[in-house]
Chain A
């Protein structure tokens, strides 16, 4: 497999795109293709425009909104990286997003594994519960969570964890669900028939088959949690603030390129994790080729 092919495959595995969709033969409808090309090029330009601006804004900065400074500088990156408040916010957001993302990914994996063994409509009920949670605006949930929790007296960290978890899990659900077709139930049943406990079967049979989609659910969850603002706006009142909340609080007071720097850091983080996964897959592929 070429590096280009492996990179595309790695990207696809991190998205809710199945192999069938990727392998679908292309249709030849020339007139429509020309029309669509003319239509999609400007849309693609508009979609990518903010990203291009963020890159420029990170290194040029602005004094007045929309007016870039004359010379390129790394001062904005340095000021964010060296500022203790930003460091604290970044660390808080990264730790929170990591814990939330893996909690969601793991509990959903346990759910999808167990549903294969359970009779009845538990899977369907779970699906309904998750879909309805997506459809109701999270602002309503945020105010409900804040109001109820302040009555009970729950700490802020618990609230933000719970809020993020229920916001990201429905999305993770769809990422993991799209990969379930590729998992062979017979291999799972063989494991339990041969005497393996469910926990052993989960870790040694189900997990290796589902590793890439669990990872991609965690990645999606991480970015969603890191970027979450609705719950954070209602819940966070103390000194520890997540990055989006901190950016939102400064919205009227400053015009420095902090959002651009953070965004670029996020993008680099994403590219890095794709490269790490790609290297692991290449290494696995080489090892398999060596073993024949």
Chain B
């Protein structure tokens, strides 16, 4: 009885996700995929939209992780600044996604004849800047998790062996956090693929993201076209996602030993 309870508890998450996430996705794919898969190239600008989505997501993610890494190094170099960095990273996560975009429109707007960052509103560069400000905090926390592979004992041992702090940084910290950098890029990229609010509001419709196109078709009642785009989008991302999932699982297996 007690063992059954534990078995149920440990399978609970798998059952929840199987029923609530994978089952609808599977049913939808089985019901709609045979009708639609591969047809998008003929009837919609699928590849163009996919290219724009992937390009903007990748570049903004890459820049965000580099910037987040600069904050991580600051965290390492200055103990006093850790509290400040933490506050800087927490505030953007708390203020709400839509409000942040609205605020950026206000900040970038030149209606009064002046702007803090002129020319960025309704431009691709503006989308990069705004998406980056959202991704930097999330990338920072992923990188901070990766820092757990560097222990205080390791740093002390390196110092005892005569290594300078500069050498410790280049030969110990950066190599040990490399995987976390990769993980931060990939996880943020996966999140970025979902974006439609920022490209719509800051890009002014010049950057058609996949999610935005799907939602527009859906809202205008063209469910068939929305499903068609979404299924091809799924086909385009499922293999890289599986590859990444295997990479993450292997890393975890190596770390935890099971």
Contact = CB atoms under 8 A, between A and B. Distances in A.
A126 interface: yes
Interface in B198-227: 201, 210-211, 214-215, 218-219, 223, 226-227
B42 interface: no
Q: Is the interface of A mostly helix, strand, loop or mixed?
A: helix
Given A125-B14, A248-B197, A166 B20 contact: yes
A143 B133 contact: no
Determine the main DSSP class of B at the interface with A: helix
Contacts of B110: 66
Contacts of B168: 27
Contacts of B88: 44, 47-48
Contacts of B169: 27, 29, 32
A40 B70 contact: yes
A16 interface: yes
Contacts of A51: 91-92, 95, 103
B86 interface: yes
Interface string B102-117: 1111111111100110
A123 B77 contact: no
A138 B234 CA distance: 10
B176 to A, nearest CB: 12
A101 to B, nearest CB: 14
Nearest to A44: B88
A267 interface: yes
A276 interface: no
B135 to A, nearest CB: 10
Interface residues of A, number: 106
Contact of B79 (A26, A29, A143): A26
Interface of A: 8, 11-12, 15-18, 20-29, 32-33, 36-37, 39-40, 43-44, 46-51, 53-54, 57, 62, 64-67, 107-108, 110-111, 113-115, 117-118, 121-141, 143-149, 151, 162, 165-166, 169, 173-174, 178, 192, 197-199, 223, 226-227, 229-230, 233-234, 244, 247-248, 251, 259-260, 262-263, 266-267, 270
22 contacts: A15-B141, A20-B151, A24-B152, A36-B77, A43-B67, A49-B107, A53-B103, A54-B103, A107-B13, A115-B10, A139-B196, A141-B21, A143-B218, A147-B32, A166-B16, A233-B215, A234-B218, A244-B96, A259-B103, A260-B102, A262-B99, A263-B100
